[in-house]
Structure 1
Amino acid sequence: MSDDTSIAAHHAARKARTKKRYAAERRFRLYGVLAILSALGFLAFLFTSIIGNGWSAFLQTSIRLDIHFDEQVIDPSGARADMQLRTANYQRLAREALAARLGIDADDRTAARDMNALLSRGVVVQLRDMVLDDAAIIGQTASVWLLASGNVDSLMKGSIDRATPEARRQLNDRQVGWIDQLAADGGLKKRFNTGLFVNGASSQPETAGVGVALIGSFFMMLTVVVLAVPLGVAAALYLEEFAPKNRLTDLIEVNINNLAAVPSIVFGLLGLAVFINFFGLPRSAALVGGLVLTLMTLPTIIIATRAAIRAVPPSIREAALGVGASRMQTVFHHVLPLAMPGIMTGTIIGLVQALGETAPLLMIGLVAFVVDYPTTPLEPSTALPVQIYMWATAAERGFVERTAGATIILLGFLIVMNATAVILRRRFERKW
């Protein structure tokens, strides 16, 4: 009887332990699901915040005016000299057209001052470029969409509250009335902001763009691809396939792994000391930024390439060597092609990391105010993440949406590059 009682107690205890283990497993799964949901929630909040603040940057308020390209204002001599066409008083043409549209008396200085505040200072560049592109327009009248000022754009996008008392509002009641009049007539609209992609740096948010930053980032990424990829792959091949296993190679491997964890600003200090101060390369040049990012990306590419090479089964090497292939032929004809998907994935991930870096670029002076496009990697430029940083520190209201809009563009590039890495890996990966 005691034996039956003991067996029953043993079964009950074992059942209780099993039930406890199952409960612990369910709790662990629940914790994992909660962790994933929390991460997705934070990610959704991040994207919602960025897109919610930045989508309006892709639209820009413009005013349609009938501009009379008066020859007496643009080129009274009729010589069509380049300097004369560049320095003409285009602001006067825009003001006269807006005054005629609103029916404002030219002698009313207060009204003229309020009216002029509706136009962006970028209208001078718009009209000048039209004349420089086609001088035949001089003497004619054309309907042109001109940029509105940043305050008008903010009012149209709801960033300026109409209910705010006039004394504390950037636009007075008369200006708001003019804006409503133009909007009702179809002469004031929010249009797609191409300037965000083609313009350079500007102190006015309505004329600021990431064009120069995109060119600078392209030059830097080109430098990284040309230098980091072949050097990283070659170093990984040598360490994994040819280098003897001794203390020196062990030391090199440890240092490569440590360099992958070094803060990026340290590479910026290195670039400042070596490339700028020692070699005398120009400050704020895309070439220097590319060299710094190359040093920072090399450890990532080497580690990823070695992992891809190590994943190739030893039987591939043994079969190639068994049929008479040399060590070099085995590596380049068999091992490297099979490891290529992993190598491409690691390379793209390294490039993605480099594209989003800001700290090392700040150290080498890529925070310059650059208006014109750089034509070579040695000319002053900036980069997309640095441009975002500079806009984030600006005080004007319009730069808030520009910051989020540029972040959306940067995230778009990062998503495309990561998706490319995934597609390449799935397409070319082989399983044994």
Structure 2
Amino acid sequence: MTERTPLPGVPAPTDWRGAMHQRRMAKRYAAERRFRRLGLAAVLLSAGFLIMLLVSMLAGGLNGFVQTQIVLPIDFPATHLAVDAAKLRGPAADLALAAADLTGATDAAAIAAYGPGGETLISDGAWTRVRDQLKADPSLLGKRVRLWVPAADRIDIAAKREGAPADEAIVARLTHTHAITTSFNLFFLTGSDSTDPTMVGIWGALKGSLFTMLVTLLIAFPVGLFSALYLEEYAPRNRWTDLIEVSINNLAAVPSIIFGLLGLAVFLNTFHLPRSAPIVGGLTLALMTMPVIVIASRNAIKAVPPSIREAAFGIGASPVQVVFHHVLPLAMPGILTGTIIGMARALGETAPLLMIGMRAFITAPPGGLRDPATVLPVQIFLWSDQINRGFVEKTSAAILVLLVFLLAMNGVAIYLRNRFESRS
């Protein structure tokens, strides 16, 4: 075999110091630098959009956690409320106060303190704060006191420098007399829905989301996990298994509103479960989340090296012991990753829950899985549809609560995943 002689002026193929190879290497390194810059630009662009989203949500939502209050002098003996102070110390306090005209007494006190139209300076639900003060201290019925009550919606907006000039002038006058103040709105985190934006709370929707996610997790995770174990470890490879796999992959791509229609037809119309209840919402979201968990779990189980199974069988482990003592612990981080994705998708869903009636006006937090309830995404949707300006900042504040809830839920799941990774 004769060695081929390179042509004159053309470097040998192995001559990396030649001009041709140097140009090729320079082009390769330049392409790598461009690819690295493109990747960095994509990351910075994504981070920029995320920061923009968070800044816009914080700018619009932080005011939702602040409430404006106006001092209300009330001479309770002069109001002639038909309330016995002794009854306010027992379980009949709510009934006794319900018979009293607290709304009229509150409006009259506002007019006496701030002149004609004074009742428009306080919230329509200000009487509820007066009621709560009386329940906490029945001795107030015999005194003249100064109580802090929520300001009207327009006064609250003006106090945050976003209202009309006339309302801002009223706020300036009240500030001069120390009759107005702003403070953290604890009621927003402990109350429920209301028609008055100054009296709305997020706790009812948050509790409904907790119950709904609990039902979703308790159904979707074990069913999805055991389905994946059976399909990957025990199911025979035949036409029926292939059909099931294709069906699961298709269900993962079905629009969420279809699952809402399924929940409406099966859980409400067939099994007659209570409408707008966390149990129905959880079952509906479990159907939507299950295919995602099955697919992620199967991929995680498939990623376990076959040598693990062979070694376990070699030391005398049974098939069940191989799966639950060796395969499942190693696959659990991937399974939990799929569960995080599925649960995060379920937490932000609105369309399927609207189909099963979870858009009702709920004024009290649910006490159980069968009580009427709403969830955070639906509550945000309902508030965003209101024409009152006061609901704008409440919508942004509710979005912040939803993000915190999502981060907390994902944080717990990531912690559990890291624990399994460290053990494996």
* TM-score computed with the length of structure 1 as normaliser: 0.88
Q: Do structure 1's residue 280 and structure 2's residue 272 form an aligned pair?
A: yes
Q: Secondary structure at the match of 1:74?
A: coil
1:266-415 matches, cutoff 5 A: 266-415=258-407
Does the aligned pair in 1 maintain the 2:277–2:372 contact within 8 Å? yes
- Which residue of 1 is the match for residue 77 of structure 2? 70
Cα distance change, pair 137–16 in 1 and its aligned pair in 2 (3 A) = same
Distance 1:310 1:136, change over 3 A: farther
Contact 1:264 1:359 in 2 (8 A): yes
Tell me the distance in 1 between the aligned counterparts of 2:307 and 2:180: 71
Contact 2:83 2:96 (C-alpha < 8 Å) held by counterparts: no
Residue aligning to 1:93:
105
Question: Which stretch shows the higher mean deviation, 19-28 or 226-235?
Answer: 19-28
Q: Do the aligned residues in 2 keep the contact of 1:257 with 1:303 (CA within 8 Å)? A: yes
Which stretch of the first structure deviates more once superposed, 411-420 or 92-101?
A: 92-101
Residue number in structure 1 paired with 2:202: 210
Q: Residues of 2 paired with 1:307 and 1:68: CA distance?
A: 71
In 2: Cα distance, 1:431 partner to 1:214 partner: 34
CA distance in 1, matches of 2:300, 2:83: 70
Q: TM-score normalized by structure 2?
A: 0.89
> Could you list the runs of 5+ residues in structure 2 that have no partner in the other structure?
1-5
Aligned 8 A contact 1:68 1:93 in 2: no
**In structure 2, do the counterparts of structure 1 residues 130 and 78 end up closer, same or farther at CA, with 3 Å as the change threshold?**
closer
User: Shift of the alpha carbon at 1:55?
Assistant: 0.8
Q: Counterparts of 2:131 and 2:236 in 1: how far apart (Å)? A: 67
Whether contact under 8 Å (1:266, 1:360) holds in the other structure is yes
Q: Distance in 1 between matches of 2:226 and 2:290?
A: 11
What is the CA–CA distance in structure 2 between the aligned matches of 1:346 and 1:56, rounded to whole Å? 36
Partner of 1:107: none
1:238, 1:70 → 2: CA distance?
Answer: 74
Match of 2:240 in 1: 248
| Most deviating of 284-293 and 301-310 | 301-310
| Structure 2 equivalent of residue 6 of structure 1 | 10
Alpha-carbon distance, 1:178 to partner: 4.1
For residue 192 of structure 1, the aligned residue among 184, 190, 198 is 184
CA–CA distance in structure 2, aligned partners of residues 180 and 412 of structure 1: 35
Question: Offset at 1:293?
Answer: 0.3
Query: Which ranges in structure 1 are unaligned for 5 or more consecutive residues?
Result: 105-111
Deviation at 1:152, TM superposition (A): 0.4
CA RMSD of aligned residues (A): 2.5
CA distance in 2, matches of 1:25, 1:295: 45
Q: How far has the Cα of 1:38 moved from its partner?
A: 1.4
Aligned ranges 1:4-153 → 2 under 5 Å: 4-7=8-11, 11-70=18-77, 73-75=80-82, 80=87, 82=93, 83-102=95-114, 104=115, 112-113=116-117, 115-153=118-156
SS in 1 for 2:162: coil
| Equivalent-residue separation in structure 1 for 2:413 and 2:225 (angstroms) | 17
Distance 1:203 1:76, change over 3 A: closer
| Residue range with higher mean Cα deviation, 235-244 or 73-82 | 73-82
1:182-228 Cα distance to aligned partner (Å, 9 max, x none): 22333311111112112222111111121211121111111112211
Is this contact kept in 1: 2:83–2:100, CA < 8 A? Answer: no
Mapped to 2, the partners of 1:8 and 1:232 lie a distance apart of 61
Q: Is the 8 A contact 1:85 1:128 kept in 2?
A: yes
CA contact (8 A) 2:158 2:171 kept: no
* Residues in 1 aligned to 2:307 and 2:251: alpha-carbon distance in whole angstroms: 32
Aligned with 1:186: secondary structure?
coil
Q: Does 1:223 find its partner at 2:215?
A: yes
Structure 1: which 4+ aligned runs deviate by more than 6 Å?
Answer: none
Deviation at 1:374, TM superposition (A): 1.8
1:181 matched residue in structure 2: 173
SS at match of 2:182: strand
Cα separation, 1, equivalents of 2:83 and 2:216:
52
Deviation for aligned residue 1:124: 1.4
Q: Which residue does 1:156 correspond to in 2? A: 159
Deviates more, 1:407-416 or 1:422-431: 422-431
Per-residue deviation, 1:403: 0.7
Q: Please state how far the C-alpha of 1:377 moved relative to its aligned partner.
A: 1.9
SS of alignment partner, residue 60 of structure 1? strand
